[in-house]
Amino acid sequence: MVSEQDFRRIALALEGTTEAPHFDRTAFKVERTYATLAADGASANLKLAIDEQELKCLLAPEAFAPVPNKWGQHGWTLARLAALDPDQLANALEMAWRHALPRKQARRPRRITR
């Protein structure tokens, strides 16, 4: 079982993460929001890839579920903190965090001059 304080500590330990109010929740973001924490501290929403969401929900249905609306169809996943251990939470947060990192611009191939 992890707490709201555990969630904050793990999320803020991920490089570049900032915390800010987001409607009735608290958002954690780098370039984009990757997680929001409910005001009661009992759950969080994490932005995962669809395949990551499916895997998390399959392996730990007591801890993870798609957010029950269109957001869930885009990978937003409900995480019940009381059903998670610190390693599970850290793994899920890191997955979400990676999707929020700045997109690197594609490098153009260098021309070799002779």
Q: Whole-prediction pTM value?
A: 0.88
Asked whether residue 60 is assigned to any structural domain, the reply reads: yes
Asked whether residue 20 is assigned to any structural domain, the reply reads: yes
Please state the φ and ψ torsions of residue 54, each to the nearest 5 degrees.
-60, -45
Asked whether residue 66 is assigned to any structural domain, the reply reads: yes
Tens-digit pLDDT string for the chain (114 aa): 999 999 999 999 999 999 999 999 999 999 999 999 999 999 999 999 999 999 999 999 999 999 999 999 999 999 999 999 999 999 999 999 999 999 873 333 444 444
Whole domain around residue 83: which residue ranges? Answer: 4-100
Indicate which CATH number applies to the domain containing 45.
Answer: 3.90.1150.30
> Taking the CB of residue 96, how many other CB atoms lie within 10 A of it?
26
Tally of domains within the chain: 1
Asked whether residue 107 is assigned to any structural domain, the reply reads: no
Q: What pLDDT does residue 108 have?
A: 38
- The tokens for 91 are 């793994």
